[in-house]
Structure 1
Amino acid sequence: MNNEHETKNSVFGFGDLNATYAKYFVGNSYLKALANSKNSNVNISNVTFEPGCRNNWHEHSIVQILIAVAGEGWYQEQGKVARKLLPGDVVIVEPHTKHWHGASNNSWFAHLAIMVGEGTTTWFDAVDDTQYSDLTE
């Protein structure tokens, strides 16, 4: 399912190549800032992943909310089975939960990433290629 048109023409916008965080991703991702409030520390972004793109294992010091908006993707917490994400799926990532998320091998994927509060992200190793390729589409 290659739904490039759906993700690139999303109501939330496509965004620019995510060059700032590229070292934490396998493949290309695109970032579109939707809302940023310095007073209340709210950040909402649309993140789009090309097929096969995923971020490294990481954790946040605050809650992160992911809302799938286009395509097919994956979310996995350390020690748990990966969960397929489709438009409308919501994931609440609790603070200090090691996880990764990204597109399936044959589909573009986009999600909104919502962060409320002032926090930090700690990045770890890339998701193992074999583990990723073994995910069932």
Structure 2
Amino acid sequence: MTTLENSVIFDKGELITNDYFIGNAYLKMLVPEDTVYNCPIGNVTFEPGARNNWHIHDGGQILLVTGGTGYYQEEGQPAKLLKEGDVVTIPKDVKHWHGATKDSWFVHLAISTNVELGGTTWLEPVSDEHYDKL
């Protein structure tokens, strides 16, 4: 099992306690949402097996993978295996999810784009049945 507890570039932050994640994930906002920079950036750390629900960003999103291995999947497409150094550009209004593999921590910077278009619409969880097939 890959562990990143001592090799994360940024502080892993606080445990996320909403209903939009399966498993434990942590968030440290590096650049808050504001009207000065208009580009929120969060460091998201997923424990092995953790993932977020399907969701849509009204303005799009960019993921910069900084550690571990994880998945990114758009609706109707096969899941992509992600590793350190990968960059994912997610167009606005594309239904997707991302999270760790079963045996590795996964860390990425999540950059919200075009935030003036709106926020995130959270949808259904990624089922265990779906995830276990990856």
TM-score, normalisation: structure 2: 0.92
> Against the structure 1 CA distance between its residues 87 and 128, is the aligned structure 2 distance closer, same or farther, given a 3 Å change threshold?
same
Aligned to 1:23: 19
Deviations 1:23-62 (A, max 9, x none): 0011110001111251231101100001110000000100
Q: CA RMSD in A?
A: 1.3
Structure 1, unaligned runs of 5 or more = none
Instruction: Give yes or no for the alignment of 1:73 onto 2:70.
Output: yes
Sort the Cα spacing of 1:124 and 1:92 in 2 relative to 1 into closer, same or farther, 3 A: same
Query: Once the 2 structures are TM-superposed, how far is the Cα of residue 12 of structure 1 from its aligned partner?
Result: 1.4
Report how many residues are paired: 131
Structure 2 unmatched ranges of 5 or more: none
Identity of aligned residues (%): 48
> Normalized against structure 1, the TM-score is what?
0.90
Deviates more, 1:123-132 or 1:67-76: 123-132
Q: Which moved more, 1:9-18 or 1:57-66?
A: 9-18
